Amino acid sequence: MYKTHKIRLNLTKQQEQHFWKAAGIARFVFNYGLERWKKQYNESLINHDTKKPSEFVLKKKFNAIKREQFPFVLDVSKSVSEGAFKDLGRAFANFFRRVKRGDAKVGYPHFKSRKRTKPAFYLANDRFDITGHCLKIQKCSGIINMAEELRFEGKIISGRVSRDCLHWYIAIGVEIEPPNHIHQKESVGIDLGIKTLVTLSDDGLQYENQRLYKSELSKLKCLSRKAARRKIGSNRREKARLELAKLHLKIANRRNDYIHKMTTEIARIYRIIGIEDLNVAGMVKNHNLAQALSDASFAEIRRQLEYKAQWFNGLVVPIYRFFPSSKLCSVCGAIKAELTLDNRVYVCGCGNVMDRDWNAATNINAEALRIVAGMAISTLKMDVEMNVRPNSRQLSVKRQLNNGVHNYTPER
């Protein structure tokens, strides 16, 4: 399994110039490949003998002409241009997947802009070396200082250098074995919300919604007006833009830190985690809730839970998005159809009185256990029909539960 450690770099002026050049070359190669891809695809529509484009064919053609036509790419590591073609191939793979799935926004790959694109480039594992706090990159002069040592021990797969508004970073991917983790508790249901960010079915434990964007909104508006009033292209406008970018970065870092700590704690404690399969893209179309939903980062919470649960040998079970978790009584099973968003306490005729979010989380937990049990039973029946031995059957159940539940959606 792969883990990535992102480390800040302390560069000299000469090293920073090299990084800017490498990021510019990566952007140039991506745009070159995209232009050739479009041209070759249009030719294949007219002339059927012309093959459709691919990243490997384009990379081969580029390597054949780069020394004569683009000699400046030789000033940086060979993996910089190779990584750009990999990014192009991945962009088209995502595009074709969304087209096949019928998404409303397919996201055709577009050219990268010097002003709007995040500076970044790829490094293969044989193009850089790490020793303690020291980083050595091929064709980059001197030893680069890293703010901390690499935390993981294992085979280094690759690295990606990137920059935010302040610093350069390197994200190092390492292949390591997951720990033999033992969970403290079996299962939990998670209800996501705006008033309370996360409510757990385990005794109604709640994580507050810090509303970090909203708390800094007045300052963001002030800095946005300040940047907009500056003359385009002036140094004062660039200074104001950088000040605004720093505040956005501060908000994002605080949000990521809070979500990482919360999801790590949940993934460590609970083996089975039930969570609603929310249509976040559709929910943000409600302009009254769009800002609050984006500030809460529901999709990021689920993404982190999925890979962290897999790391700790657990399960994340998405619950059918139309499952009436809030309207269903967790005691008697009755459905309260007239429940509104203003009703923060769930009151049922059977005598059940509890917090609305706690009731929803309890129902999500029960539904997640039902889904897991149904998958285990169906797997056992299949193994019996195939006359699988008991020990192999148990391994098959465990393998499917550990690897197959993450993207499972129950039929209705």
Contacts of 83 (CB under 8 A, 6+ apart): 26, 121, 122, 123, 124, 160
Q: In whole angstroms, what is the distance from residue 231 CA to residue 314 CA?
A: 54
Report CA Rg, the chain.
26
What is the predicted pLDDT for the residue at 405? 43
Distance linking the first and last C-alpha atoms of the chain: 34
Q: Which helix (H) or strand (E) holds 379?
A: helix 356-385
Plot region of 154 (φ>0 → left; ψ -120 to 50 → alpha; else → beta): left
pTM of the model: 0.83
120-124 and 185-192: which strand pairing? unpaired
> What is the crossing angle of helices 55-69 and 13-46, to 10°?
120
Token pair belonging to 285: 């179309």
What are the DSSP calls for 104-173, one per residue? S------PPPTTTSPPEEEEETTSEEEETTEEEETT--SPEEESS-----SEEEEEEEEE-SS-EEEEEE
| Residues 27-72: tens digit of each pLDDT | 999 999 999 999 988 888 887 767 788 899 999 999 999 999 999 9
Q: Which residue carries 């039973």 as its tokens?
A: 377
Distance from C-alpha of 46 to C-alpha of 48, rounded to nearest angstrom? 6
pLDDT per residue over 60-111, tens digit each?
A: 999 999 999 999 999 999 999 999 999 999 999 999 999 998 887 888 999 9
Give the residue among 341, 376, 343, 346 at the shortest CA–CA distance from 361.
346
Hey, which residues are catalytic here? 191, 276, 357
Per-residue pLDDT, 104? 75
Residue 396 has pLDDT above 70, yes or no: no
Q: How far apart are CA 56 and CA 395, in angstroms?
A: 39
Give residue 305's pLDDT band: very low, low, confident or very high (50, 70, 90).
Answer: very high
Q: Report the mean per-residue pLDDT for the chain.
A: 88
pLDDT tens digits, 233-251: 899 999 999 999 999 999 9
Residue 404: pLDDT over 50 = no
- pLDDT at position 392: 46
pLDDT of residue 215: 93
Q: Which helix (H) or strand (E) holds 272?
A: strand 270-276
Please state the rounded mean pLDDT for residues 207-225.
Answer: 94
Note the pLDDT of residue 379. Answer: 63
- Both tokens assigned to 171: 């994200």
Per DSSP bridges, beta strands 196-200 and 128-131 are unpaired
**What is the rounded CA–CA span in Å between residue 318 and residue 273?**
9
